[in-house]
Structure 1
Amino acid sequence: MKYSKLAVKILKYEEKEIYYDPAYHGRTLKIFGIDDDPARIIEYIGDQFLEKDYGMIFFDTKGKYPKEKFDTVIRIEDNKPTGLDPIKMVEKGLLKDFYTAATIIQTIYGLDRSLTNKLYADILEGKVKSVKDAAKSEEHYGEVIREAYTSLDDVFFEGEPPELGKSILVDFGRTYNISIAGMAFLILAAAVKDRRSTLIGIDDAAVLFYTTPGISALPLLTQPMRGRVTVLGSRYVVENILNIPGPTLVLYNDPDLQSMIYEANGAPQGDMRKHVLKGEGAFIWRTTQTLEVEFGKLPFEG
């Protein structure tokens, strides 16, 4: 159904075009497939939103997404400075407030509430001006941080905070440490969570949601907001993505995995569980009263 101006084509069936409309179907679309299929669909959807003058923020774990479509490219690499120190980012206006910075540090290093409040107070008093300062502190929060803080963390937080343009590509293609990826994902998610007229694409969502910081970014990017659309692509059929509210696009995959997706979406046995073949897709969406499944072919070759 093409309900609003945000509708974008995702499948075709004979002479009919099948649309995903965030205003009608839900503002978080989950895409499950194999190889590069989820990323290709996200790129196809993203191009349509760019034509609508939307900004695009794409978290790319494979490092293959075309970079020329973005005015900011942030490369996350092990043992390379990123400038993603949340305290410094507040000073530059990239994060809303110092309490946000303190809670990010809390999430990454497992501080309890009292230690987080103490850290926040020390940030406000100017005693702590960076994550490195927090890790060096003689306060108890410093001791807790140091239990997990490594030289990789030290280098990660170095450098000047990056400029964040209208369209941002976050390239994790050369990030092998999952903890580094999770930290960067959470910090950048917090920085862009309030943006409107923006499409947020994540591939592979299961990888970036694997760590505690990563899964903490989930509600920041999937909470429904007018003017924001989130598209999650994954090669892994995992519960924490299946359970996210919103429509699902099933691409070619092993039959048992397709069955798991249909089951998680409540599709009854029978014709509503058609086996999706290569080059095809099944779009599963709900109204308040019904469950719908639309089948079609991908709108591009290959």
Structure 2
Amino acid sequence: MAFPLKERPNSQYRGRFAPSPSGLLHFGSLVAALASFLDAKANNGYWLVRIEDIDPPREQIGAASEILHTLEAYGLYWDEQVLYQSQQSELYEQVLAYLESNKLTYFCQCTRATIKASGGIYNRHCQHLNLPSTNAGTRLINQFPVANYRDAIQGIVTCDEKLAGEDFIIKRKDGLYAYQLAVVVDDIVQGITHIVRGCDLLEPTARQLTLYQTFNITPPQYAHVPLVVTHDGYKLSKQNKAPAIDKKAPQASLIAALTFLGQNPPAALANEPTEQVIQWAVKHWQLNNVPRVAQIPLTIG
């Protein structure tokens, strides 16, 4: 069976922002969205938006449309039609069928508790049991462990070698598609060449690189910006009920995000319309000025 996805020629920068609709955009989300937008536009590229709605139990009703309205309010306009992962199931199944036909996957019925009891790293217990798909997840046979890679901001990223070599889940036991599979398939489909996102995804990137090698597809270039954390060290996130950013007065949050990203916006910019703030930010964007740290405590109200 032929691989169902075609690799696009990397003739132009194509970036993206891919939020999950588990809540509204908060300041940490804005930092990631703004960084990905500015890097794309400063390089005369395309900026796409993808809604990662493949985990219905975690989704908040109305969040997807509210996220898009918020991006527009902040002057972050996407260049192509929004892609919803919930509409990609047929393609994910084609990729799963390709992997199965090439004997690159197997079904696994091990629970998290079982794996934790055996040391926390999956030991390929089910690889040769020929289990049925019923009540089982699908694991990728990991032929290309990635324990380190180069990031455009963070430099050489080193991951846990044992975890890097693990046969990881690409379709869950409950029938939902795993993030690792969905994100790589969609980045290939959309021809994404550059990914700018938060440092919470440093380790998952290693598994995504494993999938790219499995598919024999050139991976995007990765750049991970620092996470926004509280002074107690907790990530600012939807799960932690971080407050939504203000759609009615975006300038202050934009200036704060630019400052967080090391772009040193002039004080007078705070009095300019949103469009002017974005224009300044695109013109003066310097990826090299983004702090090369994994997280920074929040210093705004």
TMscore range, shorter length: 0.3 to 0.5
The one of the two structures with greater contact order (alpha-carbon pairs below 8 A, sep at least 6) is 1
TM-score normalised by L of structure 2: 0.35
TM-score normalised by L of structure 1: 0.35
